[in-house]
Amino acid sequence: MDCNKLIVLFLLLIYPLLIIGQDERKADSLKMYYYNNHTDDVELLLDIAQQETNPDSILKYAKLIIQKSIPDSLFRLIHNGYLQKGNAMLLKGNLDLALENYFTSMDYALKDNYELGIGKLYIAIADTYSENENSSNAARYYNKGIKILRDLHDSTSLARALINAGDEYFNVGDLDSALIYTKESEAIFNKINSPVGQAYCLGNMGMVFAKKGNDRIAEENIRKAVLLLEEQKNYYPISVYLTYMSDIYREKGENSRALDYAKQSLELAQKHGLKEQISEANLKISEIYEYIGDYHNAHLYYKEYIEYRDSVINVESLQNMGNLRTDFEVSLKQTEVDLLNQQKENQKNIRIGMTIILILVLILLISLFWYSRRISSQKKLADELLLNILPAETAEELKGYGKVQAKRFDSITVLFTDFKGFTKHSEKLTPEELVESIDFYFSKFDHIIEKYGLEKIKTIGDAYMCAGGLPFETNDHAIQIMNAAFEIAEFVNDAKNNNINNKMRFEIRIGVNTGPVVAGVVGIKKFAYDIWGDTVNVASRMESASEPGKINISENTYEIVKDYFDCEYRGEIVVKNKGMMKMYFAISKKVSSSIKYTLSQ
* CATH code, domain carrying 477: 3.30.70.1230
DSSP code of residue 72: G
Residue 378 pLDDT more than 90?
no
Q: Are residues 504 and 548 in the same domain?
A: yes
Task: Indicate whether 455 belongs to any domain.
Answer: yes
Q: Which residues pair with 407 in a beta bridge?
A: 519
Last residue of a domain, one of 113, 134, 168: 113
Confidence band, pLDDT 50/70/90 cuts, at residue 547: very high
Of 510, 499, 424, the C-alpha closest to 466 is 510
User: Structurally, how many domains does the chain consist of?
Assistant: 3
Q: Which residues pair with 414 in a beta bridge?
A: 467, 513
For residue 22, what pLDDT is reported? Answer: 41
Burial tier of 381 (Cβ tally within 10 Å: 0-12, 13-18, 19+):
exposed
Span 249-265, mean pLDDT? 87
For residue 215, what pLDDT is reported? Answer: 82
Q: Are residues 335 and 454 in the same domain?
A: no
Domain housing 452 = 405-589
Residue 20 pLDDT more than 70?
no
Last residue of a domain, one of 60, 79, 113: 113
Task: Indicate whether 104 belongs to any domain.
Answer: yes
For residue 316, what pLDDT is reported? Answer: 36
Task: Indicate whether 422 belongs to any domain.
Answer: yes
Burial tier of 389 (Cβ tally within 10 Å: 0-12, 13-18, 19+):
middle
Q: What are phi and psi of 184, to 5 degrees?
A: -65, -40
For residue 477, what pLDDT is reported? Answer: 94
Question: In the chain, how long is the greatest CA-to-CA distance?
Answer: 112
Q: What residue ranges in 250-397 does DSSP mark as E strands?
A: none
Task: Indicate whether 242 belongs to any domain.
Answer: no
d(CA 197, CA 205): 12
Q: Are residues 412 and 331 in the same domain?
A: no
Confidence band, pLDDT 50/70/90 cuts, at residue 330: very low
Last residue of a domain, one of 389, 423, 453: 389
Structure confidence by residue, pLDDT tens digits, 43-84: 888 888 787 778 888 888 889 889 988 988 889 999 999 999
Sequence-distant contacts of 442-451: CB under 8 A, at least 24 apart: 444/488, 444/491, 445/417, 445/488, 448/484, 448/487, 448/488, 448/491, 449/484, 451/484, 451/487
Mean pLDDT computed over every residue of the chain: 80
Span 474-498, mean pLDDT? 93
Task: Indicate whether 262 belongs to any domain.
Answer: no
Of 565, 564, 583, 586, the C-alpha closest to 575 is 583
Task: Indicate whether 260 belongs to any domain.
Answer: no
Task: Indicate whether 435 belongs to any domain.
Answer: yes
Residue 483 pLDDT more than 90?
yes
Residue 501 pLDDT more than 80?
no
Residue 28 pLDDT more than 60?
yes
Of 175, 187, 142, 179, the C-alpha closest to 161 is 142
Q: What percent of the chain has pLDDT over 90?
A: 28
In a 3-state reduction of DSSP, which class is residue 83? Answer: helix
Q: What are phi and psi of 526, to 5 degrees?
A: 50, 45
Q: What is the CATH number of the domain that holds 83?
A: 1.25.40
Q: Are residues 376 and 428 in the same domain?
A: no
List CB contacts of 589: < 8 A, sequence separation 6 or more.
Answer: 483, 486, 564, 565, 566
Q: Are residues 418 and 367 in the same domain?
A: no
Q: Are residues 37 and 68 in the same domain?
A: yes
For residue 110, what pLDDT is reported? Answer: 93
Q: Are residues 470 and 580 in the same domain?
A: yes
Confidence band, pLDDT 50/70/90 cuts, at residue 393: low
pTM equals 0.45
Q: Are residues 427 and 383 in the same domain?
A: no
Task: Indicate whether 284 belongs to any domain.
Answer: no
For residue 322, what pLDDT is reported? Answer: 35
Q: Are residues 572 and 426 in the same domain?
A: yes
Span 381-388, mean pLDDT? 53
Q: Are residues 360 and 412 in the same domain?
A: no
Q: Which residues pair with 508 in a beta bridge?
A: 419
Structure confidence by residue, pLDDT tens digits, 293-308: 888 888 888 888 887 7
**What's the count of helices (H) and strands (E) in the chain, helices before strands?**
23, 8
* Top-confidence residue, 345 or 82: 82
d(CA 539, CA 455): 15
d(CA 579, CA 336): 101
Of 185, 171, 76, 176, the C-alpha closest to 127 is 171
Residue 385 pLDDT more than 60?
no
Give 165-225 as a 3 state SS string.
Answer: HHHHHHHCCCHHHHHHHHHHHHHHHHHCCCHHHHHHHHHHHHHHHHHHCCHHHHHHHHHHH
Of 160, 89, 150, the C-alpha closest to 115 is 150
Burial 226-255 (b: 16+ CB within 10 A, else e): bebbeeeebbbbbbbbbbbbbbbbbeeeee
Asked whether the beta carbons of 491 and 448 are under 8 A apart, the reply is yes
Q: Are residues 384 and 414 in the same domain?
A: no
Asked whether the beta carbons of 177 and 168 are under 8 A apart, the reply is no
Q: Are residues 85 and 2 in the same domain?
A: yes
